[in-house]
Amino acid sequence: MECGRHFNIEILTRTELLDIQGRPGNFRVSLRRYPRYVDIKRCIACGACADKCPQVVPETTKNLGSRKAIYLEHPQAVPLKYQIDPLSCLKLTENSCGLCEELCPTQAINFEEREEVLEYEVGAVILAPGLKPFDPSRVGLWGWQSPDVLTALEFEYLLAQSTRTNTPLRRPSTGNPVKNIAFLQCVGSRDLNHCDHPYCSTVCCMFAIKEALLARQRNARLEISIFYTDMRAYGKDFERYYQEASEKKGIRFVRSRLHAVEFCPQRKKLRLHYVNIEGRQVEEWYDMVVLAVGLEVPPDIIELAHRLGLRLTANNFAATSAFKPVDTSKPGIFVCGAFSGPKDIAQAVTEGSAAAAAVAEILAPVRPARQVSQNQLPQTIQGDQKPRIGVFLCHCGNNISSVIDLEALLTYAQGLADVVWAEKHLFLCSQEAQKRLQEVIRDKGLNRVVIGACSPRTHEFLFRRALREAGINQYLLEMANLRHHVAWVHPQFKEETTQKAKDLIAMAVAKVRCQEVLYPLEVPVMKRALVLGGGVAGMECALSLARQGFEVFLVEKSASLGGNARHLSYTWTYENVQYHLLKLRKEVEKNPLIKIFLRAEVVKVAGHIGEFATTISSHGRRKTIRHAVGIIAIGGGMYRPFGEYGYGEYEEVFTSLEFDTVRAAGDFRVKRARNFVFIQCVGSREPGRLYCSKVCCTHSIQTAIDLKKEDPSRRVYILYRDIRTYGEREILYQKARKLGVVFINYDLHGTPKVSKSSRGLCIEVWDHILHRPLEINTDVLVLATAIVPNPKVRELASLYSLAVDSHGFFLEAHSKMRPVDFLTDGLFMAGLSHYPMPLEESVAQAKAAAARAATILAKDTVSLDPVVATVDLARCDGCALCLDVCPYKAISPLEIEEGDSRVKKIQIDKVRCKGCGICQAICPQECIAVANFTLTQLRAQIRAALSGEL
């Protein structure tokens, strides 16, 4: 959404990349643009065309219904513009019809449009083409021909439809309500027999759980079974979601891989036949089967990659290095998102930012100077004059006018106090109407405006701009949402809706009357960043910022740079960690823009975005660093399981990292050992630490492969709960099994027992298939222990007022859309202090944090919303109730001299405040006011709303 209105972004839809010529900094790209037949500048998405278009085209996806030949991609599309499908349009196929051209109120239809080739000069290219869902119709096994067998995406539409229309979930075949559903995982993933996709698609497990829970929300009696191979809930907060689904929300999880779905015409049901973990054959009948289909690289993207000469992995994903996760094999061409391996939304967003940083690094010399902020236009008319309010109503085609009697509403509006002008338009958002709006403001001398149209969420920026350009303060605006709040929600009651619309307009007029002039808060930005933590994440982040031309202070607690990576030998793709680490360290140390402080810790913090002042203590001396932004990458640690599985008691028991060290050192306990047992999830995925540590499955499997490769006669066992080798790591799992590594499943209720025996250690584990305990004699026991958060997380969190999750990791601003941002502006995070993650994800986060930080550093000032709280100190009695409720920690106590005594008051940091209004609601003295949402305004609104009834 934001993308659609950014003045630096040009969106080219229906366009394909043909070729890239040239070199980094200087590419010439050619694109092919297919005709849309609709002029984007003119189309106002009124829908008159699609209403009358005679050509109905069924959607290729089940349950998505049909569309017309002229259509919107989806109702919230950006840009919200129609397009014509040339394959079904009657005018374009047989030169008849042309109805839309006649009907269009803005003459946007243009059948003359032709395909064109465009050329652009760019400095860098980012490839983010994404993946496409696997098509199960290619394989006959899963009964996809039956209308009751759906892909997960198709099921999502069916579910959304049922929620929207408030009807029960029905079987597409019979129309009867659905009683039970089976989800089949790994369809088109982890499967070499049917689709040549050995990798794990990473997202389908969580997708299935989400849909199962949503379906149960629709119907609490719905029986849902998820048939899975390994439940891969590896990400932040995933495990808790999974546990809740299985323990509290009644979703049944069955560990079994199904290979067939049969439709039985007699019973009109779907038959599943499978072998359960006890090895018994089971037959079950279902109303509906959902296939959690995997993801694959679309063929046109594979072709493009070949054309560009990019190196791909065996599964056609873009090949990258763990230390350069967004670089392709071609300099200047970057990659982000699922094209470099299937990944979830948060990781894709992180990589998007990381790719931005990588581009900014090479294009730093030509980064344009910041454009003048649009907020600084002169505003001649002020708000303190006598209110002269203008009301503008919108038909929105017939969206609003077909439900609300706009004539009556207009007459009503004209009669309201202080309203000097009111008029209505077919489309207020059209260019002509916007021009007219500005003219009326000037001609009639309006100083306040009420818009009766759609949502401020989508259109406020447009009307604010109109006010600015007409010369009045942009905050002297109020919108009444006649479309979403009235016309769309209860179109069946024509009379009452018009009354409701009148009330909303009266309320808006009452509120705007006391609206005040506001100016965006401009905060100056120091061109300097602080990075806390000298591990890989901290170093990568510092280096990226320095390469972009910003000064960086890098603060490390220990005596040297390197962090946890010092203990790793290679990545999951067998890249040498120590080699890269040394290179990285050298580069950081010799970069003139990076200043390193070792053995240093943060002791005091003040300030806010643009100008923080962090005091560090290093070698007994204190130093205050002033910086605009801060990146916190203080890493994590290893859980030491004293008292569990004989750790600390028997000398044959190691943690994974300890084992790596003794093995590398050629320790005799490893050299002479014949039997090795790994126990997974030690300290992870259990009460108190209900998260998956993400890296341990892959790490143990890699070690097991090495042990087997060194000497195939060794016996290696891995005791696991779920193997979580997500993405292409799955291939390592397959390799380990081929090499003869034995995998034994255990669950939390039957954890392995360790005892000392005459022949080393004896591990006892319950064998599900044999139904009896299994004893394994071993020489070495390796515990894959959890990654735990750095204890300093809480300390820093209180210094910088940051949020921490229940496990002690930093909490991001939004788990999906803002994965490396803190809720506090100007602060970002990267690496293990966010959540356990492998090296390449740490690097991606570090670069992402650098990009996010650079969006601030690139500016001279940051402009903040002035809708914030202020306190009337004369009335404040210092009760401090507001302090505890403020989610942004923007309020602090204040002591001031009053005559001879000192009295307690509070102060509000305007930069930290987000204007949520909780403090205003709680203040018993009513002395806190959020700008333009003051109690006076809210009371005036309520009075206006109730005046009709009283």
Give the footprint of other proteins on residues 270-299 (CB under 8 A): none
Q: How far apart are CA 284 and CA 916, in angstroms?
A: 52
Q: Check binding of 869 to other proteins (CB under 8 A).
A: no
Please state the closest distance from residue 625 (CB atom) to other proteins, in A. Answer: 23
**Nearer CB in complex with other proteins: 15/276:** 15
Q: Check binding of 489 to other proteins (CB under 8 A).
A: no
Task: Find the binder of other proteins among 111, 241, 461, 650 (CB under 8 A).
Answer: 241
3-class state of residue 302 by DSSP: helix
Task: Find the binder of other proteins among 41, 60, 114, 121 (CB under 8 A).
Answer: 121
Please state the closest distance from residue 153 (CB atom) to other proteins, in A. Answer: 7
- Judge contact between 490 and 575, C-beta under 8 A: no
| Residue indicated by tokens 């659905």 | 178
Q: Please choose, from the candidates 105, 79, 101, the residue with its C-alpha nearest in 3D space to the C-alpha of residue 89.
A: 101
- Judge contact between 880 and 904, C-beta under 8 A: yes
Q: Check binding of 269 to other proteins (CB under 8 A).
A: no
Stretch that binds other proteins, among 22-30, 575-583, 662-670, 797-805 (CB under 8 A): 22-30
- Judge contact between 26 and 73, C-beta under 8 A: no
Q: How far apart are CA 239 and CA 226, in angstroms?
A: 16
- Judge contact between 180 and 189, C-beta under 8 A: no
**Nearer CB in complex with other proteins: 249/595:** 249
Q: Check binding of 376 to other proteins (CB under 8 A).
A: no
Please state the closest distance from residue 817 (CB atom) to other proteins, in A. Answer: 8
Task: Find the binder of other proteins among 11, 277, 606, 881 (CB under 8 A).
Answer: 11
Task: Find the binder of other proteins among 194, 240, 753, 889 (CB under 8 A).
Answer: 240
Q: Check binding of 25 to other proteins (CB under 8 A).
A: yes
- Judge contact between 797 and 789, C-beta under 8 A: no
Please state the closest distance from residue 784 (CB atom) to other proteins, in A. Answer: 25
3-class state of residue 149 by DSSP: strand
Task: Find the binder of other proteins among 130, 177, 808, 878 (CB under 8 A).
Answer: 130
Q: Check binding of 901 to other proteins (CB under 8 A).
A: no
- Judge contact between 263 and 173, C-beta under 8 A: no
| Residue indicated by tokens 């009354």 | 499
Q: Check binding of 369 to other proteins (CB under 8 A).
A: yes
Q: How far apart are CA 637 and CA 533, in angstroms?
A: 13
Q: Give yes or no for a cis peptide into 79 (omega within 30° of 0).
A: yes
Structure tokens at 195: 């689709």
- Judge contact between 199 and 338, C-beta under 8 A: no
Q: Check binding of 834 to other proteins (CB under 8 A).
A: no
> Which residues, in sequence order, are bridge partners of residue 677?
717, 781
| Residue indicated by tokens 């970069």 | 591
**Nearer CB in complex with other proteins: 122/774:** 122
Count of residues making up the chain: 950
Q: Check binding of 249 to other proteins (CB under 8 A).
A: no
- Judge contact between 552 and 531, C-beta under 8 A: yes
3-state secondary structure 814-874: ECCCECCECCCCCEEECHHHCCCCCHHHHHHHHHHHHHHHHHHHCCCEEEECCCCEEECCC
Q: Check binding of 461 to other proteins (CB under 8 A).
A: no
String of DSSP letters for 375-438: GGS---B-TTSPP-EEEEEE-TTTTTTTTS-HHHHHHHHHTSTTEEEEEEES-TTSHHHHHHHH
**Nearer CB in complex with other proteins: 6/267:** 6
Q: Check binding of 128 to other proteins (CB under 8 A).
A: yes
Q: Check binding of 309 to other proteins (CB under 8 A).
A: no
Please state the closest distance from residue 386 (CB atom) to other proteins, in A. Answer: 40
Task: Count Cβ atoms below 10 Å from residue 931 Cβ, excluding itself.
Answer: 20
Task: Count Cβ atoms below 10 Å from residue 583 Cβ, excluding itself.
Answer: 11
Q: Check binding of 682 to other proteins (CB under 8 A).
A: no
Q: Check binding of 360 to other proteins (CB under 8 A).
A: yes
Stretch that binds other proteins, among 122-130, 379-387, 437-445, 907-915 (CB under 8 A): 122-130
Q: Check binding of 337 to other proteins (CB under 8 A).
A: yes
**Nearer CB in complex with other proteins: 159/761:** 159
Element (H, E) at 621: strand 621-627
- Contacts of residue 855, defined as CB under 8 A and 6 or more positions apart, other chains included, come to none
Stretch that binds other proteins, among 349-357, 727-735, 830-838, 906-914 (CB under 8 A): 349-357
Q: Check binding of 368 to other proteins (CB under 8 A).
A: yes
**Nearer CB in complex with other proteins: 216/269:** 216
Stretch that binds other proteins, among 190-198, 361-369, 706-714, 766-774 (CB under 8 A): 361-369
Give the footprint of other proteins on residues 32-51 (CB under 8 A): 36
Give the footprint of other proteins on residues 194-233 (CB under 8 A): 206-207, 209-210, 213-214
- Judge contact between 199 and 190, C-beta under 8 A: yes
User: What 8-state DSSP symbol labels residue 804?
Assistant: B
Q: Check binding of 366 to other proteins (CB under 8 A).
A: yes
Stretch that binds other proteins, among 102-110, 128-136, 776-784, 903-911 (CB under 8 A): 128-136
Give the footprint of other proteins on residues 416-455 (CB under 8 A): none
Q: Check binding of 934 to other proteins (CB under 8 A).
A: no
Please state the closest distance from residue 266 (CB atom) to other proteins, in A. Answer: 35
Is 94 exposed, middle or buried, given 0-12, 13-18 or 19+ CB atoms closer than 10 A? Answer: exposed
Phi, psi (5° rounding) for residue 824?
Answer: -80, 125
Please state the closest distance from residue 186 (CB atom) to other proteins, in A. Answer: 19
3-class state of residue 511 by DSSP: helix
**Nearer CB in complex with other proteins: 248/771:** 248
Q: By rule CB under 8 A, what count of residues binds other proteins?
A: 90
Please state the closest distance from residue 339 (CB atom) to other proteins, in A. Answer: 8
Task: Find the binder of other proteins among 104, 153, 312, 929 (CB under 8 A).
Answer: 153
String of DSSP letters for 892-933: EEEEEEETTEEEEEEEE-TTT-----HHHHH-TT--EEETTS
Task: Find the binder of other proteins among 49, 69, 127, 761 (CB under 8 A).
Answer: 127
Please state the closest distance from residue 368 (CB atom) to other proteins, in A. Answer: 5
Q: Check binding of 156 to other proteins (CB under 8 A).
A: yes
Angle between helices 152-165 and 204-218 (to 10 degrees): 20
Q: Check binding of 83 to other proteins (CB under 8 A).
A: yes
**Nearer CB in complex with other proteins: 548/751:** 548
Q: How far apart are CA 736 and CA 753, in angstroms?
A: 24
Stretch that binds other proteins, among 5-13, 535-543, 829-837, 902-910 (CB under 8 A): 5-13
Give the footprint of other proteins on residues 59-78 (CB under 8 A): 72-74, 76-78
Please state the closest distance from residue 526 (CB atom) to other proteins, in A. Answer: 17
Q: Please choose, from the candidates 592, 601, 593, 590, the residue with its C-alpha nearest in 3D space to the C-alpha of residue 623.
A: 601
Please state the closest distance from residue 36 (CB atom) to other proteins, in A. Answer: 7
Give the footprint of other proteins on residues 589-618 (CB under 8 A): none
Task: Find the binder of other proteins among 356, 486, 782, 913 (CB under 8 A).
Answer: 356
Q: Which ranges in 711-744 belong to alpha helices (H)?
A: 730-738
Give the footprint of other proteins on residues 799-818 (CB under 8 A): 815-817
Q: Check binding of 306 to other proteins (CB under 8 A).
A: no
Is 526 exposed, middle or buried, given 0-12, 13-18 or 19+ CB atoms closer than 10 A? Answer: middle
Stretch that binds other proteins, among 279-287, 343-351, 870-878, 904-912 (CB under 8 A): 343-351
Phi, psi (5° rounding) for residue 758?
Answer: -65, -25
Q: Check binding of 796 to other proteins (CB under 8 A).
A: no
Q: Check binding of 488 to other proteins (CB under 8 A).
A: no
